Amino acid sequence: MNFSAVVVAAGSGLRAGPGEPKAWRLLGGKPIVRWSVEGLLSGGAREVVVVVARDRLGQVDEALAGLERWKAVTGGRTRAESVQAGLAALSGARNQPVLVHDAARPFVTRAHVERLLAGLEVADGAIPTLPVPDTLKRGEGLVDETVSRDGLWRAQTPQAFRIGRLKAAYRRWPTSEEPTDDAAVMERAGGQVAMIPGDPMLMKLTFPEDFLLAEQLAASRRIVRTGLGIDAHRFGQGDVVWLCGIRIEHDLGLIGHSDADAGLHALTDAVLGAIGEGDIGEHFPPSDPRWRGASSDQFLRHAVSLLASHGGRVLNADVTLICERPKIRPHRDVMRARIAELLDVPVQRVSVKATTTEGMGFTGREEGIMAQAVVSVETPL
């Protein structure tokens, strides 16, 4: 699929109650705007433009850390102005599809994207719709009339258009009016808009009670995966060893193409294994001279970045170092702090332990050091 996306996250969301604007509130431990951006990226978006209020520009980098193929622009006074700012920032060709999405609908998936793009093949726009299930009344205080719901539908986002066609439609929209959605702009310009089946999961978070339901739904859409990593390096000439990102003075060094940090190598493999991304050697081949003597923290950061690109995050990590020397206990707390920093988790979720093999095997003979790491990560289903 070759499409771009605009995510509108510049509103204040006053009906959601006191607190942060709803796009920036946490849902399942991460900002709602991140859910929407991840969903579109996972759906195949080549680029996502996130439209935010000017005072949120400094916050969006943190909210979307680790994700790729996105950029942020400042929105306008109205939603229509914000959408147009997003469209202006796209790099796609005029005929390329664009999906315009409200950040406050966090559960967009690849299936939604595929249906929208299929609908766009036969019309100037495509929108997800749901039938109105409730009886409709018109009046204030007292009922004036019962309104037939026949032929009435609830429109959702994302909504799909061609970039050039939607830009042209907005240019024709009267500046004195505010459209209720982008499909209305296309309709006013004479375009045909296809209605595709919507999804209750594309609910818009509007009122405080919506967030309680969304938390339950968010929990059901995440899965915990576990990865295991094992690494070993032998001793050689030197006067320092690197373990779990910490330099330790020693009467020997560890032999390896990089800095031979067995702890971080095991952690890197554990993260890569949890998301099915191979092993450290595939990403950083020992035959590549770029990694000769390299600090292993960049290997682990790469693995964590890949995890984030999958929409995931590290939950906790447990490292066991197997060696007779050096003694690990004096350095354990500093190791935990360094690993926590690299994994972007609280230090309480990191464990570093040490054991010996009671003189048995290569570690018992003090020929080298072995490390084992277990990592739990959370990713979308």
- How confident is the prediction along the chain (381 residues), in pLDDT tens digits per residue? 689 999 999 876 545 445 678 899 999 888 999 999 999 998 999 999 999 999 999 899 999 988 889 999 999 999 999 999 999 999 988 899 999 999 999 999 999 999 999 999 999 999 999 999 999 999 999 999 999 999 999 999 999 999 999 999 999 999 889 999 999 999 999 999 999 999 999 999 988 888 888 888 887 777 899 999 999 999 999 999 999 999 999 999 999 989 999 999 999 999 999 999 999 999 999 888 888 889 999 999 999 999 988 778 899 999 999 999 999 999 999 999 999 999 999 999 999 999 999 999 999 999 999 999 999 998 876
Residues 155 and 276 both lie in one domain:
no
Residues 155 and 109 both lie in one domain:
yes
For the chain, the domain total comes to 2
Q: What is the pLDDT of residue 288?
A: 87
Query: Of the candidates 205, 47, 160, 42, which has an alpha carbon nearest to the alpha carbon of residue 109?
Result: 42
Residue at which a domain ends, from 187, 220, 253: 220
Q: Please give the Cα distance from 244 to 267 (Å, whole number).
A: 9
Residues 295 and 201 both lie in one domain:
no
Residues 156 and 176 both lie in one domain:
yes
Q: Please give the Cα distance from 43 to 35 (Å, whole number).
A: 12
Residue at which a domain ends, from 166, 198, 220: 220
CATH number of residue 345's parent domain: 3.30.1330.50
Question: What six digits make up the tokens of 126?
Answer: 């495509």
Residues 46 and 102 both lie in one domain:
yes
Domain around 120: 4-220
Q: Please give the Cα distance from 296 to 259 (Å, whole number).
A: 6
Q: What is the pLDDT of residue 295?
A: 93
Helix (H, G, I), strand (E, B) or coil at 242: strand
Residues 249 and 216 both lie in one domain:
no
Residues 180 and 251 both lie in one domain:
no
Residues 244 and 323 both lie in one domain:
yes
Residue at which a domain ends, from 166, 200, 220: 220
Q: Please give the Cα distance from 123 to 117 (Å, whole number).
A: 10
Q: Please give the Cα distance from 266 to 264 (Å, whole number).
A: 5
User: Quick one: how far is CA 303 from the chain centroid?
Assistant: 14
What Cα–Cα distance (Å) separates residue 313 from each residue in 37, 103, 218, 271, 292? Answer: 15, 20, 14, 10, 29
Question: What six digits make up the tokens of 334?
Answer: 């500093």
Residue pointed to by tokens 């554990």: 270
CATH number of residue 9's parent domain: 3.90.550.10
| 67, 37 contact by CB (below 8 A) | yes
Q: What is the pLDDT of residue 16?
A: 46
For 116-205, strand residue ranges (E) read 125-131, 136-140, 142-147, 153-155, 159-162, 193-197
Helix (H, G, I), strand (E, B) or coil at 347: helix
Residues 133 and 180 both lie in one domain:
yes
Residues 349 and 288 both lie in one domain:
yes
Q: What is the pLDDT of residue 82?
A: 96
Residues 123 and 202 both lie in one domain:
yes
Q: Please give the Cα distance from 182 to 40 (Å, whole number).
A: 18
Residues 212 and 231 both lie in one domain:
no
Reported pTM: 0.69
